[in-house]
Amino acid sequence: MKVNGKHYRSLWWNSEKNVLEIIDQRWLPHDFRTQTVGTMEEFADAIVEMRVRGAPLIGATAAYAMALAMKIDPSNAYLEKAWKYFNETRPTAVNLRWALNRCKDALLPLPEDQRADAALKLAHEIADEDVEINAQIGRHGLAIIQGIAINKKPGETINILTHCNAGWLATVDWGTATSPMYHAHNAGIPIHVWVDETRPRNQGALTSWELGSHGVPHTYIVDNAGGHLMQHGKVDLVIVGTDRTTRRGDVCNKIGTYLKALAAHANNVPFYVALPSPTIDWTIANGVADIPIEERSAQETTHVQGIMPDGSIGMVQVTPEGTPGGNPAFDVTPNHLVTGLITERGVTPATAEGLQAMFPEFANVKPAAKNKKTGS
Ligand SMILES: CSC[C@H]1O[C@H](OP(=O)(O)O)[C@H](O)[C@@H]1O
């Protein structure tokens, strides 16, 4: 998407330096900083520290990480070592494991001297596929918004609530939850977006930065305001992203999503999830029982980042000294609270039958023994 009129993806390959370039999202929305990622440690750090974040973007980053690994040492042993090293960076977004497995499956059959080039080519393909998948999600989500517009007075604004950042910053481009919003805005449909702040990392500020850059009307709200707005008829539709959706349609997403789904269900507000197929974990059904929930640092809850009086970006402590912080980074919305899943192939019910009908090639994937701690 555009940043000050210039098109950017969230990551891109610098073919002159032969390194990956990323937007370092830790400094947004106050400072737009890019950086190169050229070592195994820099790749792992970029994922762990959320310089790159969002399930699809984590997956694309992991693919480029495997390309670097094959350039360093194309042996089977190093391939396995790299797979394990990167799989341990963050446990919840299944796109990480999906990308690592896709790379391993493609590379193992190849002679070692072909692996580095093949791995980089595959990383480019995964990045480009993500852009197209998200554009398709946008087109299918646009139809939902158009369906709501028909029942509104001509020119009446459609109010959409979203949680966290499932925007182009969380993917290579377009975003997932935001793609239908951008498509609707570009089609001239009057939308307004309620943007949940999404403590503790305040990814709502990223969504606000994105939507503002594209001229989409929006309002930044505290996480706990969504239910009130729904009770008062101020939300026509909720669209969120996902980090892992199970084969029966249970949706794992940023902490707080479940509460939005409960409020939407209680107020008969349609609750849709934008779901790229690499985010489906076909090996599990019960999301609450089987999806590993990342526990991040307490400091993310006891402190908040922002612009300091001198204009620098800093952290301030919001809690008393010594107060412990708890920080589960995700929660799981059971499928019965989900109105529909917006995939790149179309909109489907959040059920095992719905997902199998949309993706029949995965219908026979066998449940795997899960180690909930690592998610694989
Ligand atoms: C399009 S996936 C976006 C998804 O990822 C975010 O998690 P994080 O910022 O911790 O990587 C959040 O759950 C978003 O909905």
Q: What is the pLDDT of residues 273-308, one digit of tens each?
A: 999 999 999 999 999 999 999 999 999 999 999 999
Specify whether 223 is catalytic: no
- Three-class DSSP category at 183: helix
Report the alpha-carbon distance of residue 252 to residue 206 in Å, rounded: 20
Q: 54 C-alpha to center of ligand 1: Å?
A: 4
Position 167 scores a pLDDT of: 98
Q: Flag whether the ipTM exceeds 0.90.
A: yes
Report the alpha-carbon distance of residue 352 to residue 356 in Å, rounded: 6
Report the alpha-carbon distance of residue 201 to residue 340 in Å, rounded: 27
Contacts of 299 (CB under 8 A, 6+ apart): 315, 325
Position 372 scores a pLDDT of: 54
Q: Which domains does the chain have, with CATH numbers?
A: 2-129 (1.20.120.420), 140-362 (3.40.50.10470)
**What is the average pLDDT value for the chain, to the nearest integer?**
96
Question: How would you list the strands of the sheet with 218-221, edge to edge?
Answer: 218-221, 191-196, 158-162, 237-240, 271-274, 340-343, 346-348
- In this prediction, residues 328-332 reach a mean pLDDT of 98
Q: Is 146 annotated as a binding residue?
A: no
Answer whether the bond into residue 200 is a cis peptide, omega within 30°: yes
Which of 47, 53, 259, 341 best tests ligand 1's pocket when mutated (most atoms within 8 Å of CB)?
A: 53
Q: Is 101 annotated as a binding residue?
A: no
Q: 154 C-alpha to center of ligand 1: Å?
A: 34
Which residue in the list 243, 250, 290, 331 is annotated as catalytic? 243
The pocket around ligand 1, CB under 6 angstroms, is made up of 53-56, 164, 166, 170-171, 176, 203, 241, 243, 253-254, 329
Tokens of 9: 């993806």
Closest CA to 255 of 165, 166, 329, 196: 329
Please tell me whether the overall predicted TM-score, pTM, comes out greater than 0.90 for this model. yes
Angle at 271 between CA 270 and CA 272, to 5 degrees: 115
Question: pLDDT band at 367, cuts 50/70/90?
Answer: confident
Question: pLDDT band at 150, cuts 50/70/90?
Answer: very high
Atom 5 (ligand 1) nearest CA: 54
Render the burial of 94-109: b for 16+ CB within 10 Å, e for the rest: bbbbbbbebbbebbee
Q: What is the pLDDT of residues 214-267, one digit of tens each?
A: 999 999 999 999 999 999 999 999 999 999 999 999 999 999 999 999 999 999
Q: 273 C-alpha to center of ligand 1: Å?
A: 12
Q: What is the pLDDT of residues 188-224, one digit of tens each?
A: 999 999 999 999 999 999 999 999 999 999 999 999 9
Q: Is 203 annotated as a binding residue?
A: yes
**Which atom of ligand 1 approaches the CA of 253 most closely?**
13
Q: Is 325 annotated as a binding residue?
A: no
